[in-house]
Chains A and B, each alone.
Chain A
Amino acid sequence: MDHLGTRKQETKSSGLLAVYSEEDSSVLPEEKYHRLANSTIHDLLEKLEEYGDSVEIDGFDVDYGNEVLTLKLGSLGTYVINKQTPNRQIWMSSPVSGPARFDWDQTAQAWIYRRTKGDLVKVLETELEQLCGKSINLSST
């Protein structure tokens, strides 16, 4: 099997095995991806830290290391949000909805999980309100 390279490779079975080309205009260029993903994750980090100060959750902790955002909510569970650069995605693991993979949608200007059409930021807002009993605004101004 090839590693990430400049050829697009198709499979018969799942279509998930693909190698992205920098020249392919339908794929987010890596530099742009990093800018968008980093900005989204850093923004989340800030807002989640503030949220932590305003809610009474035992064991609340937000940690960011090695480009992985870990949000602990004590006994309510743990979120892990990270970049998955080869796929140009942001991956999230949620104690409510399980694993999800978000792609940048240029039209929506948002990270969208294709299977559910869920928006990363909105999913988090909804779930956190549900879990912690207090609403949170994670959308950028």
Chain B
Amino acid sequence: MENSTSHEIAEHGSLEVPSLIKYISSNEVAGFDSTETATELQFLGPSDKQEIQKDEEKGQGDESVAVNHQRKISISISMPLSPEEVQSHNNGETSLGDGIPNSSSQSNTEGSKPPRQAKCYSQPMPKGHVYPEDTEGRVNFGQNPHINRLKDNRFDPFKTFSGRLERQLSIFRGKPPKQAPAKQENNINNTDRPLTVDRYFDALEGPELETLRASEEAVLPQNERWPFLLRFPISSFGICLGVSSQAILWKTLATSPSTEFLHISLEVNLVLWIISIALVASIFTMYLLKIIIYFEAVRREYYHPIRVNFFFAPWIALLFLALGVPPSLTKYLHHALWYILMVPIFFLELKIYGQWMSGGQRRLSKVANPSNHLSVVGNFVGALLGASMGLKEGPIFFFAVGLAHYTVLFVTLYQRLPTNETLPKELHPVFFLFVAAPSVASMAWARIQDSFDYGSRIAYFIALFLYFSLAVRVNFFRGFKFSLAWWAYTFPMTGAAIATIRYSNQVTNIVTKVLCVILSLISTLTVTALLVSTVLHAFVLKDLFPNDIAIAISDRRRKPHKNRWFPLRHGSSEHSKVIENFLKFSNTEGDGDLEAALKQPSNPFEQH
């Protein structure tokens, strides 16, 4: 006992011991309450904590566990994790002791922050304790009544201001806050340290950087369904792109002189346009909700090297809506609308292109991938819309900027630099984005020059060539898992079809007309197939919005030896034994407790 206490004093060097002992004997808390951990650790400097952690990591299993137990109230099970790992607390409430690691690891990372920001993330809190926060009664034994709240708080780091906003809102609504206002500013990614792009490359793989590598761990539990908004990626705006571009296609088919022989009515355009409006409105609303409630998740999507390009998609979708507006509704759109629509694109561009030029970790040679075309296509679509509205200088501005950056991107992607980690080794539907920029550019130039002149034709033929070279390789597009982002890859096909129709207006002969029909058919069929697929996944397979692993990657790579101590994620039986032992001994009175507690738990581990 003396040893243990002095040991503890030596280790902690603080006045915590008395309260610790008191705490153990008072049995106020059921289960391993590591609020103390938080408490103690907060008084320690980060180096101390680290030292403790290191000690614990290096020590042998039994003793450390015993030591853990004794100050279990201190650090105990948290040890296996590296001090910086904060996310551990978010993992598997299903397994025991996760709460503890949370606190310690969090407190470590929070060491620099004022102590009150703590950790007590999932610890049950005794009343009237020094740290009165957190009475959420999170008992990490997987007891059902708490599971809902468990889930709630697991996702809090992803929420705006880590859940504070939500609580404020619920207070405003008149409901009493569910829990005592917990100081949960334990963002898993301390907001002052955004994820580097290398982290995304290390942790994720796949052509869309969506799948977690085997060696990585996600911050959120993968075997549970996350809240819907958290699963709603920015690539959902691809649906808007796909459908609204179809509206434009059917409008062009109905109004172009060269396709009059098809006798297509404008009704189709009207119906599609209304559907697009509905889709755009609903997806905008949902994503807006996500921004309000889960801002942290949105930030992580923004830092994702591929998802960032999809931030252009909402604005391009709005531009498509303006392009596809049925003639029966309005003939002329106000010029101010164009300026309003282009402002977000302009600012996004300044940021992204500037990063390409000057950013060290996000420079183009490193992050170039076919989705970058989405960043460039916006310029051409804006130029097309502006020119159709009758503006002159603005469209030329965006066309020039788009052309310059498209050249850079095109060369970079064609080079397939060895330093480039994001290019998929195999063909993937994302490659169809290659067709988007030249086809829209050709249409935009034709509008600016008022005729489909040589510049437009050059761009159009480039688009056509790329389309064919991908279409003949359609066999290589097999074997990919359906994802919502595929919708975004349909609009280039539609764009190529529309460009062909415009070209056939200028050069009218049987070849171009046949080409019009074929390309339109392909595009419509693809969209229909995709629609069926989407409906299937949504209602039958119910996995249209799978857990968005890409945003849940951890800050750091886990240390590999963590599993030596506790297979935390999987609720091992040793764990429960440890807890049991603690519980047994926590009930007894007197000094003998600690020693007993020290000695006893070593046994289960000796056995293993």
Q: Do A and B come from one complex?
A: no
Residues of chain A touching chain B, judged by Cβ–Cβ distance below 8 Å, are none
Residues of chain B touching chain A, judged by Cβ–Cβ distance below 8 Å, are none
